[in-house]
Structure 1
Amino acid sequence: MLHWGIILVGCAIVQSSLQATYYTVGDKWANVVQNPKHPQPLMQNSRWIINATNPHARIRVLCTDFRLAVSPPNSCKYAKVIFDDGVRKEVKCEAQWDLLVQGRSSSMSIELQVTPGGGGFLNCSAKQIAPPAEQEVIDLQPGEPVVRVAFPEVRGLDQLKVWKFRSASEDKISLQCTMGMEDRARSCDKCVKDILTIDAGEGPKQYCGSDKVVVISKEKEIKMRFETFPGTQAHIDCIAQGISGSDPNEYNNVKYSEEDSSEFGAVRGTKPTTCLCGISNKNSKRIINGRESTESKYPFMVSLRTPTNLHFCGASIISPIHILTAAHCVSKIALKNRPEPETLLPVVGTNDRMKDASHGQTQKLKVKEVFVPESWFEVKNNLANDVAILLLETPIKFSKFVSPVCLTPKLPRIVNKYIKAMGWGVTEYGNPDKLMEANVQVLDKAVCNDNAKEICFKNGKSASCNGDSGGPYVYVDPETNRYTQFSLVSYGKRGCAGKHFIGTNLAHWYDWIESTMRNTTSEYNICKKVED
């Protein structure tokens, strides 16, 4: 009994003449073999000759339909296809799922040989495989921003792109990709349609399917090639970065080292600020993660409370009449209601949420008006555009224990570095009465949250939690030696136990902050570094 793969057919007289058809192929897939009288099978000896436009290329053939007549035990008795590239021959019979043949030269002959009663169904495409004329070169080094590669912009097309990632230092580089591609062919366990090829220094390796790929370069270079087959929805999303250790994420290679911070914010740096800001009141002790802050150590810190004196959010002083916090501290996320100033009680000059400071400079303030970007109110249950400014009825009395924080119009180069967070939020031991401080690591936005309006922080034992919202993330500007706020606590992915924490990027909102202050007073401005 004779079968076409799994289809039963009868016998027919086979024409013995050999028909040859010639094709020239380039970098795109081209259909070279098909049944001209489909749904009738091919039942005569046929030959197709394929040549590449590039004499140094290799021919690749993919048959998405390959079903030849079968009569066990000799599966090739009635029909077979011979692939011949001049270097080797491959003979294929029976039915094949997504048959891929990779040639070793710039030409290939495909010959169908049938005997009486034989034949089959064929549909094959071919292209040349050669180094592309162009490739994108990306230089990386530890401490520099992570590079994200997402390709293609438009899915479903026949596309090819090549990247070369190079280390700009003596360190290695890592590449991590999530894939959405056709799976390996069932017949040969190979990637046949969509193919991601990565060479990290130990030879090229092919990937497909939906797995995550993580590779580290053997030396200082990684090459990546991505090919998509027409009609599929193949895509990749990769991040590449320079690494100084064995972990593919540089932030895990950067360890916190305790340093003497007794002079941070205490003495003036090489550049002045437009007003006295970002100072610190300290003793000679070093700072350790998660330790209680000394009394009024950070004079710009604000406890935002209910009229009944219950702390619920953090904030920071930015002028004698302006306080900076998160929008969700003054407007409920689910309702996006307009803020009510009379429900807010800012308290400054204390590091204890239960009592005033011993120096007598604790002040409880009245809010006159609350400003929130209109974009905050557009989508309920969403924390985008999480920033707010409180306008006070009367100015804060500044002193050694009460003063503003510095702001910056540009996001500093702090990726993978440790900065300072502070607040009265929930810890593993409950709600602390005293202000707590912690060293928190800044992550590249490409690692966790590719949003220019937000900044990503690594979770840890000393990360932010409920009650810290609205409080400042600060770093010491090396030129002013002043604590400078660049973000504020917004939310945690998957709550306090999540992998990352997200802060509002204040550099993005700097112009809005400045214009809001200008529209409410002509007397006070943002405190910032004086640039040359």
Structure 2
Amino acid sequence: MKMWVLILISCWVMISNAAEYQITIKSGEQKRLNHKGDAGTAETHWKLETCEGCKLIMSCYMSSKSCNDFLLTINDGLTVEKHCGPRWSSTVLANSNYNKMEATIKTIGPVQGSFCHVSATKPYTNMEYKEIDSSEFGLGTGAKRQTSCKCGWANKSPARIVGGKETLPNEYPFPVILKIKHDRLPLCGGSIISAYHILTAAHCTYPFRGLKFAVVIGEHDISKSDETPFTKEIDVKETFDHPKYNDDHSEYDIAIALLEEKIEFNNAVGPVCLPNSRTNLLGEYIKVMGWGRTQTKGSSSPTLLKVHLRAIDLSICGSMYSSIDLKDPYQICTWAPNRDSCQGDSGGPLVWRDPETNRYVQVALVSYGRKCGSTDPAVNTDVSYFMDWIRKIISDTVPQEVCV
């Protein structure tokens, strides 16, 4: 009889120290979730929800590094992860997959001080997305304004193109592959901005200082050596990372590669247009292209692929990534359902069709993100912010006209 009494008392203690809360977080709102531990076993469970199209952002502080007395469990709506022990930092960050998530903190003994902060983004995952008929884009027809020099054109058939897979050999003259010299596989992407200069990301060049780079122009399918007569490898003479580049957080993530020899422009190889002013791109469709992976753990694409993303409010990226500067913004936030840039696309161009010129303008370059194709947006370097620096590097090395 005494044993049964002890079991009943033990069960009652566990139940009496368990709490469950259902909380709704409004867009832009932040709340603190407190866990109260005591001498026994305590468990707090939160069911969280926000508006349709919004995402929940959570950061939890773990007051103990031992799995013997502390366990944090987070269900982001897609996966469930358990956090405890020294392999985790004291602060755990997590995002919901869509607009719901759950979290549980369980402690044994006098473990106190654990809490979570949770906030909600502005709505974006329910935004409209439609395929674009771009058969006439970049052909120069119907232009209201001429560019300062020939740039940003596309070589297209008049057929309608859908499904985010438009890429014919040399369809876009400006994307290039950046690679370590003598390596076969691409390292990053880039774009032609003059006959001697390639624009790319600093996180592609900075970690490999001291190594020799090369670029491949006029490429389409890296698995074929004779697919197009315009493919050519050119050595890089020098790379210039932005002086404010921070490798820890990919801040000011932009670089220029100076080539050893001049690119001979033709219809299949030529420069992208650069922005002559800052443009409000919120809600605009932006084309990203590259030879990167088609999924997070997949292999790189042998052919140049492209996809349309939409520019969304930078504050959404700011709520998910710590290195976003909202006071002096130099980045562009993009997202689209089941579409994204991925590893290997870094440094590659994001282009926007300027309705005034009907030419492609490089408004950004691929910087960083999380899991490819997830509901988390991607962060890209805003090219317009760096135009003075770009012009100075070109002027100080091999002066060339910049097409805008």
Q: Which bracket does the TM-score occupy, shorter chain normalised?
A: 0.5 to 0.7
Matched-pair contact (CA < 8 Å) for 1:177–1:214: no
The C-alpha deviation readout for 1:101-158, integer Å capped at 9, x for no partner, is xxxxxxxxxxxxxxxxxxxxxxxxxxxxxxxxxxxxxxxxxxxxxxxxxxxxxxxxxx
Instruction: Say whether residues 1:366 and 2:235 are aligned partners.
Output: yes
Is the 1:491–1:502 contact (alpha carbons within 8 Å) kept by the matching residues of 2? Answer: yes
Contact kept in structure 2, 1:292 and 1:434, CA below 8 Å: no
1:83-98 alignment runs, 5 A limit: none
1:201-216 alignment runs, 5 A limit: 214=51
Question: Does the 8 Å contact 1:177/1:238 carry over to 2?
Answer: yes
In structure 1, give the amino acid aligned to 2:30: M
Q: Which residue of 2 aligns with 1:286?
A: 160
The match for 2:200 is 325
TM-score (norm 2): 0.66
Counterparts of 1:67-466 in structure 2 under 5 Å? 176-180=27-31, 214=51, 249=123, 252-256=126-130, 258-268=131-141, 269-291=143-165, 293-306=167-180, 307-332=182-207, 339-340=209-210, 343-356=212-225, 358-376=227-245, 379-428=246-295, 430-449=299-318, 450-451=324-325, 452-466=329-343
Does residue 378 of structure 2 align to residue 501 of structure 1? yes
User: Could you report, residue by residue, the CA deviation over 1:392-436 in whole angstroms, capped at 9, with x for unpaired residues?
Assistant: 111101000000000104332321222111111111463221111
Contact in 1 for aligned 2:240/2:257 (Cα 8 Å): yes
Question: Could you tell me how far 1:305 is from its partner in structure 2?
Answer: 1.9
Letter paired with 1:325 = T
Structure 2 letter corresponding to 1:447: I
Contact 1:179 1:211 in 2 (8 A): no
CA distance in 1, matches of 2:223, 2:231: 12
Provide, for residues 223-277 of structure 1, a one-character-per-residue CA deviation record: whole Å limited to 9, x for no partner: xxxxxxxxxxxx99887xxxxxxxx725623221x33311111124110111100
Q: Root-mean-square deviation (CA), in Å?
A: 2.9
Q: How many residues align?
A: 294
Contact 2:219–2:228 (Cα < 8 Å) also in 1: no
Task: Give the whole-Å Cα distance in 2 for the aligned partners of 1:295 and 1:476.
Answer: 20
CA distance in 1, matches of 2:244, 2:357: 34
> Structure 1, residues 2-44: CA drift from partner, whole Å, max 9, x if none?
xxxxxxxxxxxxxxxxxxxxxxxxxxxxxxxxxxxxxxxxxxx
Distance 1:461 1:181, change over 3 A: closer
Q: 5 Å matches for 1:46-65?
A: none
CA distance in 2, matches of 1:274, 1:482: 12
**Identical amino acids, percent of aligned pairs:** 35
Question: 1:249/1:368 Cα in 2 relative to 1: closer, same or farther (>3 Å)?
Answer: same
SS for the counterpart of 2:384 is coil
Matched, 1:488 2:365: yes
- 2:304 is matched by which residue type in structure 1? L
Q: Is the 8 A contact 1:493 1:502 kept in 2?
A: no
Cα distance change on mapping 1:181 and 1:514 into 2, 3 Å: same
Is 2:283–2:310's contact at 8 Å kept on the other side of the alignment? yes
Where 1:371 maps in the other structure, the secondary structure is strand
Q: Deviations over 1:485-510 (max 9, x none)?
A: 01001111356646111111111111
Q: Distance in 2 between matches of 1:176 and 1:356?
A: 52
Provide the residue aligned with 1:520 in structure 2.
397
**Structure 1 gap ranges (5+):** 1-174, 184-209, 217-234, 240-247
- Unaligned 5+ residue runs, structure 2? 1-25, 35-46, 54-116, 319-323
- Structure 1 equivalent of residue 87 of structure 2: none
Does the 8 Å CA contact 2:125/2:337 hold for their aligned counterparts? Answer: no
How far 1:344 moved relative to its partner?
1.1
Question: How many angstroms apart in 1 are the aligned matches of 2:373 and 2:135?
Answer: 30
Residues 350 and 357, structure 1, Cα contact 8 Å, conserved in 2: no
Query: What letter matches 1:320 in structure 2?
Result: A
More helix by share: 2
In 1, the alpha carbon distance for the partners of 2:125 and 2:374 equals 19
- Supply the distance in 2 between the matched residues of 1:212 and 1:462 (Cα, whole angstroms): 25
Q: Deviations over 1:448-485 (max 9, x none)?
A: 22531211111543311011111000010000000000
Q: Which has the higher strand share?
A: 1
Cα displacement (A) at 1:356: 4.1
Q: Does 1:511 align with 2:388?
A: yes
Post-superposition shift, 1:310?
A: 1.6
In 2, the alpha carbon distance for the partners of 1:462 and 1:250 equals 14
* Structure 2 CA distance for aligned equivalents of residues 253 and 347 of structure 1: 37
Contact 2:337-2:373 at 8 Å conserved across structures: no
Cα distance in structure 2, aligned partners of 1:290 and 1:260: 10
For the residues of structure 2 that align with 1:485 and 1:357, how far apart are their CA atoms?
29
Q: Following TM superposition, by how much is the alpha carbon of 1:311 offset from its aligned partner in structure 2, in angstroms?
A: 1.1
User: Partner of 1:507: helix, strand, or coil?
Assistant: helix
C-alpha offsets along residues 78-112 of structure 1, whole Å, 9 cap, x if unaligned?
Answer: xxxxxxxxxxxxxxxxxxxxxxxxxxxxxxxxxxx
Rounded to whole Å, the distance in 2 between the matches of 1:179 and 1:462 is 29
Once residues 430 and 290 of structure 1 are traced to their aligned partners in structure 2, the CA distance between those partners, rounded to angstroms, is 19
Decide whether aligned partners of structure 1 residues 521 and 431 sit closer, same or farther in structure 2, where only a CA change above 3 A counts: closer
User: Residue 280 of structure 1 contacts residue 299 of structure 1 at CA under 8 Å; is this kept in 2?
Assistant: yes
